[in-house]
Amino acid sequence: MQVLHTYQELQVFRKSLDSVGFVPTMGALHPGHASLITRSKQENPQTIVSIFVNPTQFGPNEDLSRYPRDLEADLKLCQSLGVDGVFVPTVAELYPFEHAITLNPASDLLGHEAEHRPTHFNGVLQVVLKLFNLVCPQKAYFGKKDAQQLLHVQRLVADFFLEIEIVPCEIVRDHDGLALSSRNVYLSASQRQEALKIPQALERMQIAYQQGMRDTASLIRIGLDTLQGLEVHYLSICNHNLEPLAQVKSNQTLILCAVQVGQVRLLDNLWV
Ligand code: PAF
């Protein structure tokens, strides 16, 4: 496995490869990331992972400086999964200009996360486009947990005619049902217990849906009842273009949820 720090190293390495699957990450890798890497390994002759805590997607009061980092463990995991190359650039490497070109996300895909993190998707799209241009992958793997990010990246690829297949991957959950996230390490034991209300809320909404409930207001009420005591940033039911729905329609519905637990903002969702 090659560890590549500069854009030139990556370019030379990339030229030696054929078809590449790409897994962009911010490190602090967990089994959710491992599942993306494993899928890429199954579907591509070569796999490149990037590890880069991207400053432009963090707001001024967010956790950039304390975002979990453990490069040694990340590299070990990548090695054990048979990754071919890991790109670990510095900020200066990826952002060489003081005045960088920025991207505005499509306005129809805003709301939800963007209401709480107004510049987040600008930063995500900026870094993802840079990484796509550097890695030149045929396929790129994104978790469905960050549903809105996935929709923005799919739009980026379509709008800029990038010849990359975006592969959405299933949410990986811990044994207690909590969706895996690098930020889960911030949770104390009691906060973690509280956080379990999130998958429980989604599960209860799913059961009610399976029992025939289609009215979104009633489903949201069930979810909010379960989330009582937590600071819910949003719990919404929309279609795959993020338009609110009055009635749930199968294969077209996304239940999105963001909840603040202590200092940690947790996302979860359900694709119905
Ligand atoms: O999902 C993430 O980890 C990040 O948003 C990504 C896609 C690696 C861009 O920094």
pLDDT at 249 over 90: no
Q: Which atom of ligand 1 is nearest to the CA of 54?
A: 10
pLDDT in tens, 97-109: 999 999 999 999 9
Residue from 257, 218, 239 nearest 112 by CA: 257
pLDDT interval class at 262 (50, 70, 90): very high
User: For the segment 23-72, what is each residue's pLDDT rounded down to a tens digit?
Assistant: 999 999 999 999 999 999 999 999 999 999 999 999 998 999 999 999 99
Contact 253, 238 (CB under 8 A): yes
**Whose alpha carbon is nearest atom 9 of ligand 1?**
124
Q: Which fold has domain 2-169?
A: Rossmann fold (3.40.50)
- pLDDT tens, position by position, 144-184: 999 999 999 999 999 999 999 999 999 999 999 999 999 99
Q: Beginning with the edge strand found earlier in the chain, give each strand of the sheet holding 231-239 in spatial order.
A: 231-239, 253-261, 264-271
Q: In this predicted structure, what is the pLDDT of residue 250?
A: 83
Place of tokens 């590890």: 51
List of residues 6+ apart from 55 with CB closer than 8 A: 64, 91, 95, 123
Name beta bridge partners: 2. 85
Nearest atom within ligand 1 for CA of residue 146 = 1
Dihedral sign of CA atoms 28, 182, 148, 116 in order:
negative
Q: State how far Cα 79 lies from the chain centre.
A: 22
The residue nearest atom 6 of ligand 1, judged by CA position, is: 25
CA distance 248 to 129: 33
Q: Taking the complete model, does pTM exceed 0.85, yes or no?
A: yes
Same-fold call for 2-169 versus 182-271? no
Q: Do the Cβ atoms of 171 and 145 come closer than 8 Å?
A: yes
Which positions are annotated as active-site residues?
A: 33
The full set of domain ranges for the chain reads 2-169, 182-271
Kindly tell me if the per-residue pLDDT of 239 is higher than 90: yes
Q: Residue 64's closest CA among 74, 72, 73, 54?
A: 54
Conformation bin of residue 67: beta by default, left when phi > 0, alpha when psi is -120 to 50: beta
For residue 251, what pLDDT is reported?
Answer: 83
- What is the distance in A from the centroid of ligand 1 to the CA of 234? 21
How do residues 176-207 score in pLDDT, each as one tens digit? 999 999 999 999 999 999 999 999 999 999 99
Q: Which of 238, 250, 263 is nearest to 62 (CA)?
A: 263
Q: Among residues 246, 256, 237, which one has the least CA distance to residue 215?
A: 246
Ligand 1, atom 3: closest residue by C-alpha: 25
Mean pLDDT across 126-145: 98
Pocket of ligand 1 (CB under 6 A): 24-26, 54, 57, 124, 127-128, 146, 149
Cβ neighbour number for residue 102 with a 10 Å cutoff: 11
Confidence of residue 121 (pLDDT cuts 50, 70, 90): very high
State residue 252's pLDDT score.
87
Maximum distance among all Cα pairs of the chain, rounded to whole angstroms = 56
Give the Cα separation of 35 and 141 in Å (integer): 10
Query: What is the second-level CATH architecture of the domain 182-271?
Result: 2-Layer Sandwich (3.30)
C-alpha 24 to ligand 1 mean position (Å): 6
C-alpha 185 to ligand 1 mean position (Å): 17
111-120 pLDDT tens trace: 999 999 999 9
